[in-house]
């Protein structure tokens, strides 16, 4: 059962692009370091798994069957899929507008006493401030979406491991979780370095729009392709 849990965790993650593509494209658009990209991937993956574990363990404690828990997970899956889709769509539109925006800069002059005169680019200062806020917000939006998103494939393993007692449940859960998170991080690292090797200078200004489109398509894949 442990080998099955490990293999399923690996395949499920690899064939679920929503597990790693959003982190790859956002790391490029947001200019994250590899460390930040992997840390964000780790805690989003952990939230994704822990929320499923909690539901699975509560279901076991209350004597629910797999079918009853899967109904709840199906609802959570739809919510997560729509959240991915809408977040990606809004981010894509914002990225397009950001790329196309080409207004003249407004210069504001401030005197700070004496004869010193400082020039501030109001548009640039506002954009920098907005960008900082978005950088702080984006990882948390992803985390919330991943917490709502169920890892349905884990539930049958947790329920099946009950015949081995508490130790069996813990072993299977840990094996599945470790392999899943490692696979997510490995895929993100590969995508991160893959992007670095590509000549992306010409599309750099559209990276936010591209990131939003990829996230939007990930949501579409969850909703309509059952990935």
Q: Is residue 174 part of a domain?
A: yes
- pTM for the model: 0.76
8 belongs to a structural domain: yes
Integer CA distances (angstroms), 56 to 67, 140, 154, 158, in order: 12, 24, 9, 7
How confident is the model at residue 189, as a pLDDT? 94
Within 10 angstroms of residue 198's Cβ, the number of other Cβ atoms is 9
- DSSP category for residue 120: E
**Residue 169 belongs to some domain of the structure:** yes
Give the number of other CB atoms < 10 A from CB of residue 205: 13
Is pLDDT above 80 for 35?
Answer: yes
Going by the DSSP 8-state scheme, the letter that residue 111 receives in this structure is: E
Domain count, the chain: 1
Q: Which residue has the tokens 């959240």?
A: 83
- Does the residue 103 lie in any domain? no
- Cβ distance 30 to 138 under 8 Å? yes
Structural domain including 183 reads 2-81+150-208
pLDDT of residue 112 exceeding 60: no
**What does the pLDDT look like over 152-207, one tens digit per residue?**
777 777 777 777 777 878 888 888 889 999 999 999 999 988 877 777 667 777 88
Q: Give CA–CA dist 113/117, Å, rounded.
A: 8
């Amino acid at each position: 059962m442990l080998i099955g849990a490990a293999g399923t965790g690996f395949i499920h993650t690899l064939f679920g692009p929503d597990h790693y593509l959003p982190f790859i494209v956002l790391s490029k658009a947001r200019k994250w370091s590899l460390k930040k990209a992997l840390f964000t991937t780790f805690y989003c993956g952990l939230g994704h798994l822990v929320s499923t574990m909690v539901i699975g363990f509560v279901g076991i404690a209350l004597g629910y069957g797999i079918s009853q828990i899967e109904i709840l997970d199906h609802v959570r899956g739809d919510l997560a899929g729509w959240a991915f889709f809408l977040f990606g769509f809004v981010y894509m539109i914002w990225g397009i507008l950001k790329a196309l925006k080409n207004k003249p800069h407004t210069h504001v002059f401030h005197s700070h006493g004496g004869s010193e005169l400082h020039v501030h680019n109001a548009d640039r200062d506002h954009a920098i401030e907005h960008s900082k806020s978005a950088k702080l917000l984006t990882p948390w939006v992803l985390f919330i979406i991943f917490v709502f998103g169920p890892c349905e494939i884990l539930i049958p393993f947790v329920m099946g491991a009950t015949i081995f007692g508490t130790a069996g449940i813990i072993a299977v859960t840990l094996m599945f979780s470790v392999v899943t998170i490692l696979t997510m991080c490995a895929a993100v690292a590969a995508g991160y370095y893959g992007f670095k090797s590509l000549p992306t200078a010409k599309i750099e200004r559209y990276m936010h729009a591209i990131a939003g489109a990829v996230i939007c398509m990930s949501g579409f894949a969850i909703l309509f392709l059952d990935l």
